[in-house]
Amino acid sequence: MDRSQIITIYRKDLKEILTLATVKYSFIFFPLIFLFIMLFIILLTHNALLANNQLTDIAKLRFFSYMATNYLIFFGIIPLSLASTISSYSIVGEKTQRTIEPILATPIEDSEFFIGKMLAPFIPTMIATYIVAIFYTLFVDYLSLSFGGLVFPNLVWYVIILIFIPFSTILMILLTLIFSSRALDPRSAQQFSAIIIVPLLVVFIMSMTQYAITSFMVVLMSVLIIIFDIIVYRIALRIFNREIIVSRWR
Amino acid sequence: MIEIQNLKKVFEGVTAIEDISLKISKGEVFVLLGPNGAGKTTTIRILTCIIKPTGGIAYIDGMSIFDESKRIRKISGLLTENPGFYERFNAVDNLRFFSKLYGMDENIIDEDIKEYLEIFHLWERRYEPVGNFSKGMKQKLALVRALIHDPEYIYLDEPTASLDPETSKIVRDFIRELKSRGKTVILSTHNLTEAEYLADHIGVLNTRIVAMGTPEDLKSRIFGKRVVIEFQGDADKAKAIMEELRVVYQLERGKVIILNPGIKNSVIVGKMVENGLDVDYVYEERHSLEEIYLRLVSNHG
């Protein structure tokens, strides 16, 4: 595998993404709005605990830690939403612009093309997510000092931020790219990206509302997601069909 | 050299090409002629390793399209039928992207881009978004993209479509220059004048190869050699002479047309003059490539 080919595709895609004003601003404003909502929620939680005179500081810290850790899973919504929009257009965009055939005529391999296409939505969305997550982490720790301790980083934080969210994002990008490569028109690709995010969001919300997120649970979920990533990547490469891409586009 | 053996491609039960076998020598311009849907683009896509054939095989410089597709793509340049670009990027950025995919040395990319953009009069507009370009400018840019990595085999699908006459001439002259540089050019076109002007060999394609040869070969093979002798005098005498010489002929008012004479023109003319006929002109009837093409395609349609 030639890394320079992957980087060439990635850089081109990133540049293309950033020339679209709507995408550029959604990269700034969506995470920013999300951050303010999260900071507001955690601040409300903190203030409610602070006003409670029946709990000891240790109990308050424990409850605050439980809530702040559970909220972490919501940070997956940022990359999932941003990346799904970009990756749904990724290969369809090459077809619409009729640049796919000249690309496939170059010595690029399918895997290099696919990974380059994956990185283009992945890296910027993860950067945006990490910036927001860092602010959240610092804010939570600042608030938790009033209960006499620090919440983050803990094991769940590491697993969710460094493993679960990135690999969930990769899974979502892979699924969207598969559909994008096989879509026969741009509209169906966009519809698919809107649909695919729903089950993933349901998983996020369920995990938030039903159970306390334990380190065992996130490790297990992360391992499953990584296994899914590997399987879906292999399927994606196997069904990436140059012939369908160049000859069946409407 | 390109060697194609029994190439076949079926798309969802529809045969696009069948039993195509041909050889294209290095440094020649080979023209693929055929109506829409004849399989020209499919053939080019197989030779550039974008799609795989259903049957048969092709070798480019001895490399199999199945086993060495990456190496083949590296020495091939393709101008697609509907060339597309990143419309928000400028010409230089578009070309840089494709140059890198072809593995070109970063140090020479910009020099080569400059050279080609100047040849095709696009240098002055190099930093404009390609979306602002006219159709003809995009076609020229697509041609530059096909040539930028200095490929040995150049596949041009309708290279002068949508170009004005002046630019078409630049492109045609450039194709000739490519040939003089030893490049092999495979050209798919509907423009018969262009085909005749450029082709060393022509393959007329209509799902199968229906005829192949040099333009002159095709002309004589399809219509035969037709010698016209315009004369003044007794038509019956002319008829008797033709019968005596045992040639296939057609007598019209003031002229006799002889098909594949097999005898020197001077012998026929000498005999006519001997018999008191005044011969005004002797010439070979010419057929255009268009007539040949239409005859072939209608016979195999």
Residue B154 binned pLDDT confidence (cut-offs 50, 70, 90): very high
Calculate mean pLDDT across residues B20-36: 90
Measured CA to CA, the distance from residue A62 to residue A58 in angstroms comes to 6
Residue type for position A74: F
Which residues are within 8 A (CB) of A155 and not within 5 positions of it... i.e. 6 or more apart? A215
Measured CA to CA, the distance from residue B93 to residue B86 in angstroms comes to 9
Measured CA to CA, the distance from residue B203 to residue B218 in angstroms comes to 10
CB atoms within 10 A of CB A187: 10
The answer to whether B34 contacts chain A (CB < 8 Å) is no
pLDDT of residue A142: 95
Query: What are the pLDDT digits (tens) for B83-97?
Result: 899 999 999 999 999
Closest CA to A157 of A174, A144, A171, A173: A144
pLDDT of residue A72: 87
pLDDT of residue B297: 67
Calculate mean pLDDT across residues A83-110: 86
Indicate the residue of A99, A242, A247 with minimum beta-carbon distance to B86: A99
Q: B88 and A16 in contact by Cβ < 8 A? A: yes
pLDDT at A166 over 80: yes
Domain total of chain A:
1
Assigned token pair, B229? 């002798």
- The residue among A11 and A207 whose pLDDT is bigger is A11
Measured CA to CA, the distance from residue B98 to residue B108 in angstroms comes to 14
Residue A208 binned pLDDT confidence (cut-offs 50, 70, 90): low
Which residues are within 8 A (CB) of A179 and not within 5 positions of it... i.e. 6 or more apart? A88, A189, A192, A193, A196
Domains of chain B, start order = 2-214 (3.40.50.300), 221-285 (3.30.70.100)
* Chain B nearest CA to A175, separation (Å): 24
B117 and B166 Cβ atoms separated by less than 8 Å: no
pLDDT of residue B125: 92
SS3 B94: helix
Measured CA to CA, the distance from residue A243 to residue B72 in angstroms comes to 17
**The CA-based dihedral angle spanning residues A135, A137, A141, A143, taken in that order and rounded to the nearest 10 degrees:** 60
Measured CA to CA, the distance from residue A246 to residue B69 in angstroms comes to 17
The answer to whether A103 contacts chain B (CB < 8 Å) is yes
Calculate mean pLDDT across residues B285-300: 69
The answer to whether B51 contacts chain A (CB < 8 Å) is yes
Residue A246 binned pLDDT confidence (cut-offs 50, 70, 90): confident
Disruptive mutation site among A5, A7, A91, A99 for chain B (greatest number of B CBs within 10 Å)? A99
Residue A17 binned pLDDT confidence (cut-offs 50, 70, 90): confident
Give this prediction's pTM: 0.81
Residue B300 binned pLDDT confidence (cut-offs 50, 70, 90): low
Calculate mean pLDDT across residues A230-239: 89
SS3 B79: strand
Calculate mean pLDDT across residues A45-72: 90
Query: What are the pLDDT digits (tens) for B236-245?
Result: 888 888 888 8
State the residue range of the domain holding A117: 3-248
User: Which chain B residues have a beta carbon less than 8 Å from that of A104?
Assistant: 50
Q: B83 and A15 in contact by Cβ < 8 A? A: no
Beta bridge partners of B185: B29, B154
Query: Nearest chain B Cα to A96, which residue?
Result: B84
Closest CA to B72 of A104, A135, A151: A104
User: Length of chain A in residues, anyone?
Assistant: 250
Q: Give the C-alpha distances (Å, rounded to integers) separating B261 from B229, B244, B266, B267, B273.
A: 12, 13, 11, 11, 18
